[in-house]
Amino acid sequence: MKLTDSIQYLKGVGPKSLENYQKLGIFTVQDLLLYFPFRYDDFASRSVFELLDGEKATIIGEVVTPANVQYYGFKRNRLSFKIKQNDAIIAVSFFNQPYLADKVEVGKEIAVYGKWELAKQQLLGTKVVAQADDGFSPVYHVSAGVKQSTLVKLIQAVFDADILKDLSENLPDYLIKKYRLMPRQEAVYAMHFPQDMQAHKQALRRIKFEELFFFQLKLQALKNKEKSGREGISVIIEQKEMDEKIAELSFELTKAQQSALTEILSDMKSPYHMNRLLQGDVGSGKTVVAELAMYAAALANFQSAIMVPTEILARQHFANLKQLFPELNISLLVSGLKVAERREVLESLASGRTHMVVGTHALIQEGVEFYNLGLVITDEQHRFGVNQRKILREKGQNPDVLMMTATPIPRTLAITAFGDMDVSIIDELPKGRQPITTRWVKHQQLPDVLKWIHSELADGAQIYFVSPLIEESEMLDLKNAEELFAELLAEFPKSTVALLHGKMKNTEKDEIMQTFKDGKTDILVSTTVIEVGVDVPNATIMVIMDADRFGLSQLHQLRGRVGRGMKKSYAILVANPKSDSGKKRMQIMTQTQNGFTLAEEDLKMRGSGEIFGVRQSGIPEFAVADIVNDYNILEVARAEAVEIFKTPENYHELIAQVQVGDGFD
């Protein structure tokens, strides 16, 4: 038998079951060895006194009453008897396994596995444990046609055939020594049939390390390939001019902004092409960092482009850039332009007259050509698909790429999903920001909230109302928003109330936002479309209806729409959550303002796939590792992979184990 042999040659595998095994991803003998259980039943005997209600365990005791089988109805019956463990008398019941009566003999010891029902002092048995079962018994994910017990037997048979010795060690010796990892063969065996808890723990640690290490090695290989394969642009940084411009700003850059800028500029200076993610909490001031990077490009005679998800954001950036760099030629490219205007912008881009351009999706349309695009930035990057970002990038000759995100991606995810990218983090808000007061109220308290809003409106406040989210249906979201809109119109007859929702055309949305921004609307009712980007410093109150329907990160993004001016701001979460996790989320929101903390909490509560904005980010599914709980291993694995790529020529064999195709993105 060889590791690469198909399992069809194994005893007990017929054509039908072969297909079923293949559905589980098991094709070869090696696949079978590496098909690990997801949990174990613990058949080691326990003392009844330490069992929790509902816990599954094995109890060993002396049989003190004869087995009694009661029949009731067709094929239904119950076997019961009592056992004595030390001083405790325990009732044992089995349903529909009358034949087990043969194993029950008064005065003899018996081991029963089952569920402990505390109130009844009864063990609901599922199995009489034989001597051989003592210890851990693996439980595998199986699907239709594959039986748990057959799979166990098959795996056992493969081990019995002494094939394990052919499985080679895939981790380098120095790592095994450094982290005291269990050797691969031993670990693979212990994953299936651990001697005890300790052996299982060590095996699991080793296998997780292996999985995360090779993942990180692959990411580093990709990154390395990017850097060596394609020559990027080397921008000469005019430090003096940069410093002068920074001194002209109406505020001082925070330390975090400064270091992010330094990292970006050093990437731009290097001959490699930059592939960097700039992440920072809402309001942390990412824009100005991006603008300064664009300035550096302009000083070196390169064009730069920034792509944003909405027209109103584009206009906002455009106005900022013009004010900051009056000496430069700045263009705006959005779909709302008149034909002549558009033609002029396109001409200016192609001839090189334009230094910087801000735009929406309009930037990646055909016919948009650049003279020498050296830097490409996407704001709110998760709003764009991988392809859209790629099209923009390809409008230049391998330009430097910077992506910005206001959805704080927890570090855990960032180094996993974006491990092939460099990451700069702005983890500090500008000085003098007033914290946003967040309150959680129940629906029945809404009248009090409305009363308070009346008085705030009288003081000139502007207010956002976000209607509840119903994920399954945009139509229902709209209906909710419309109902809320009607209610608020009735409640505030003297104020201007506007409605914004996702079904509107972009131009219509932008117009409504602009009116709100200009202070001509008092209350803006909206679905979650306002979540992204606009600065309305005068808006100071954010009311989120049925807030428990939103994830933490999303609530945080919504809340970040207020607290942008000098006035005190409030976020009101209206919710009567039914679940514990809903309640917990409301509490966390009132307790922390830190987007990263919230995103980490979100990750813990909902799992990595669920986090808003990172769904399409290409985070792989791991077989045994869990990026949240195994974060420590992940970090170590990453550090080791990085180290290896400092001198890749010394690790040919190791690196050959990870195949790098076209990679991600």
**Interface residue list for ligand ADP (CB under 6 A):** 251-254, 257, 280, 282-288, 406, 430, 535
C-beta of 291: minimal distance to ligand ADP in Å? 9
C-beta of 433: minimal distance to ligand ADP in Å? 8
- Alpha-helical (H) ranges within 325-468 are 339-351, 386-393, 411-417, 446-458
Distance of alpha carbon 314 from alpha carbon 419, whole angstroms: 29
Burial of residue 154, with CB atoms counted within 10 A of its CB: 0-12 exposed, 13-18 middle, 19 or more buried: buried
Neighbouring CB atoms inside 10 A of 10's CB total: 18
DSSP lists the bridge partners of residue 576 as: none
C-beta of 451: minimal distance to ligand ADP in Å? 32
C-beta of 250: minimal distance to ligand ADP in Å? 8
Whose tokens are 């206001």? That residue is: 406
E strand map for 534-585:
539-545, 570-574
Q: Which amino acid is at 598?
A: L
Nearer to ligand ADP, 137 or 254 (CB): 254
Nearer to ligand ADP, 164 or 253 (CB): 253
Nearer to ligand ADP, 277 or 282 (CB): 282
Q: For the sheet with 400-405, list strands across it.
A: 330-333, 356-359, 303-307, 373-378, 400-405, 275-280, 422-426
Nearer to ligand ADP, 100 or 530 (CB): 530
C-beta of 309: minimal distance to ligand ADP in Å? 12
Neighbouring CB atoms inside 10 A of 427's CB total: 17
Distance of alpha carbon 324 from alpha carbon 291, whole angstroms: 9
Nearer to ligand ADP, 536 or 654 (CB): 536
C-beta of 349: minimal distance to ligand ADP in Å? 25
C-beta of 317: minimal distance to ligand ADP in Å? 9
Nearer to ligand ADP, 568 or 583 (CB): 568
CB under 8 Å to 221, separation ≥6 — which residues?
A: 645, 655, 658, 660
Evaluate whether 480 touches 468 at the Cβ level (below 8 Å): yes
Evaluate whether 151 touches 192 at the Cβ level (below 8 Å): no
Nearest to 161 by CA among 5, 27, 25, 22: 5
C-beta of 335: minimal distance to ligand ADP in Å? 23
C-beta of 235: minimal distance to ligand ADP in Å? 22
C-beta of 281: minimal distance to ligand ADP in Å? 7
Compute the C-alpha angle 318/321/323, nearest 5°. 110
Q: Name the residue number minimizing CB distance to ligand ADP.
A: 285
Nearer to ligand ADP, 289 or 363 (CB): 289
Nearer to ligand ADP, 430 or 648 (CB): 430
Q: Tokens for 440, please give them.
A: 């959680």
Nearer to ligand ADP, 125 or 280 (CB): 280
Distance of alpha carbon 476 from alpha carbon 421, whole angstroms: 39
Nearer to ligand ADP, 331 or 381 (CB): 381
C-beta of 6: minimal distance to ligand ADP in Å? 55
Nearer to ligand ADP, 255 or 343 (CB): 255
Evaluate whether 386 touches 336 at the Cβ level (below 8 Å): no
CA atoms within 13 A on the CB side of 245: 22
C-beta of 263: minimal distance to ligand ADP in Å? 16
Nearer to ligand ADP, 273 or 315 (CB): 315
Distance of alpha carbon 650 from alpha carbon 647, whole angstroms: 6
Where b means 16+ CB within 10 Å and e means fewer, 339-359 reads eeebeebbebbeeeebbbbbb
Neighbouring CB atoms inside 10 A of 149's CB total: 8
